[in-house]
Structure 1
């Protein structure tokens, strides 16, 4: 889901391609760049405008028509963009907390499951919640994403994987204190589960096919515990990006600090600084072909197609902070 991760940051594939072309100085002007990327000029201009808007480039000289923007160093631009997205997600988390408090008050007043408006259903009681989760998972067709923190839940991920449904999960690091849970996750990972670990997962969440989201109880599911089922498009549009942001910053299970060795971190920092292949080779004291091979291996280890994706992933996880 690399493309989804970049979209979460506010940029897409077209902007990424244009930005990397600017970094490599592959074109002499806007028309040349449009031909190089095989894009209509209008679409390229829109992508360049978005790069300027998000801080990835400085505006071109207005005195020279067709002049290209000047690319900013990737590391600084990525940090600015990520901080902006984090601020937006903090606001969404606050909205989520208010929604949860309103639902808890509703359950306290009426004691029965009922709709609370705006496409939100309140489900009360352990058995009712378990049945609702089972029904949502049975209806899943493409993908289920999960955020889990104490008290931990145990959805039947194995059955989803057996049906070919993709599953991604972010587990709060506290969950690794249970060896049995860790072994079970490792076994499911071998069957296709993509699981990552984060230090402070902000909420419990289960989203099915990006169309309906369930927020499990924040406390142990007793007789009065309540879950929220969110089907409204606007609300789901806030919750799914929340998952993607946590997913992007999380570490693969067993990956520690991402599994990057010292030389890989040095190379990643050089890429993030915007250096070209020849300059990187000089800094590393190797031939340019050797530097390019190392860059290719680094991108592969980060599951990234391009340098921009590698920089976005590393910066969002804090690997470039030093």
Structure 2
């Protein structure tokens, strides 16, 4: 039986002994040894703990017998005591927080910034920050990745399981890594809200409105000894929060479900060619010639593709195409330059 009363200070062995007493009839020590499957000495220790917690009563006699106190009475009493302790702890934590903030208002501005160096130290600080999110985690996701970008990110899954809001803006290159779309789909199914941009400015994590973590310098490849900066409450943190919200507003929703509309094979070969030429930046006249379509038909097909992608601009259509593999393996029939009008 799974132990659930440790939060009330009842260890698993004591809980199993208490469960064995719930028949409501007095039982002897020997009865409990047989029922709980524990040595006599450990059953005696468990009984003493249960008696001191007010969960078990003892009846004297030969032999002595034990009986469970009504859980509605006994456990409610423990719960009330623990709630009172938690309330006092919250008040104390509030006092400490206020003292810290008063001190922070007068400290050197340099103390608002932490510099973390080294792969292990960066990972440890990142995990610590993520696991302490209270309300919302906001992320800019951008290569390169020290783990190749294929870490399942259990810390985020735990957050989502707790009901914490997670919003991520992915760089288009980040979801083009083989095997990564499967992970992005898994996070989305767990509750992550995801959008994509052609070029995210930096990788970054924002914990509530309290902390931000981002690389100290950008690099084209994994740094063997990376340096990250952690920012505490400050005007800089407010600016990073505003930057995230501004880019979130213009980013394209990332559709990761295995729907027919997002399956590259669901596009006709001609529509795949259209998307490929559109994302290459060719003018409409050249695209119409390449696809062997009239100008009016081209416009109609492009509008249909935009509706299918949920895009209001061609730029958003290009982002959706890159994110969902619509142009994979499609080549123009001939080499066409922007001057062919």
TM-score by length of 2: 0.40
- Tell me which structure has the larger Cα radius of gyration: 2
- Structure number with the bigger relative contact order (C-alpha 8 A, sep ≥ 6) is 1
TM-score by length of 1: 0.42
